[in-house]
A and B are shown apart, each in its own frame.
Chain A
Amino acid sequence: DTAVSQTPKYLVTQMGNDKSIKCEQNLGHDTMYWYKQDSKKFLKIMFSYNNKELIINETVPNRFSPKSPDKAHLNLHINSLELGDSAVYFCASSQDVGGFGYTFGSGTRLTVV
């Protein structure tokens, strides 16, 4: 039973399109995150939600909009996709807001052509 699941696993799309990545966790965690891993494998946080409330919003273009319908779900919507958005996006959750025990999803590889 997957703890943090992301869909889709792979996403290839054209520039200018709008796409969404979904994330669900069945661990009962209150805090969820989106991280971006670029082509050089550098991981950087994008957003964090605690109990559906946005608590971290790093310097991310406003084309990226997270949505948390409930504490088990954190989706990422991206408008007007650009080539530079190509990356692997990881969802994660933690049992506490201190971030001491992350569980990561397996990632969504987004390729913008």
Chain B
Amino acid sequence: AQSVTQLGSHVSVSEGALVLLRCNYSSSVPPYLFWYVQYPNQGLQLLLKYTSAATLVKGINGFEAEFKKSETSFHLTKPSAHMSDAAEYFCAVSDNWLNAGGTSYGKLTFGQGTILTVHP
């Protein structure tokens, strides 16, 4: 089964600084990878996803992530942090399989989450 590991449960940056949130995956097949953001007391919102097209994926709110197969990584970056970026971020991999009828089913396996704090 696929899995993801997020390095660092807490990341703190200054406003305007580079944001780097690390995610490494384990997968026996080409993975589909996702980053979600969760603001306090809210649900998860999709930031971006990699589904085997371009390795550099651009998402919402200025975030992007690069899929690096050789490093089994899918790190999330943003050039300049904003106070509104403070939230918890989850990396996820889609664990897909085929049923007897040949239909592909999937479920997301999430990392442990990284809390991003942005200081003024």
Contact = CB atoms under 8 A, between A and B. Distances in A.
Given A41-B88, A100-B32, A107 B42 contact: yes
Chain B, interface residues (CB within 8 Å), range: 20 to 34
Interface string B80-120: 00000000101000101001000111111110110000000
Interface stretch (A12-20, A48-56, A61-69, A74-82): A48-56
B42 A98 contact: no
B106 A97 contact: yes
Contacts of A56: 105, 107
B90 A100 contact: no
Contacts of B113: 41-43
Interface in A3-53: 4, 33, 40-45, 48, 50
Given A100-B32, A100-B49, A45 B90 contact: no
Size band of the interface chain A makes with B: 20 to 34
Which label, helix, strand, loop or mixed, suits the secondary structure of the A interface?
strand
A98 B96 contact: yes
Contacts of B112: 40-42
B56 interface: no
Contacts of B106: 94, 97-100
Given A41-B88, A41-B113, A99 B108 contact: yes
Contact of B108 (A4, A40, A45, A107): A45
Interface of B: 32, 34, 36, 41-46, 49, 51, 88, 90, 94, 96, 99, 103-110, 112-113
Given A33-B107, A99-B105, A107-B42, 4 more contacts: A43-B110, A97-B104, A98-B94, A106-B41
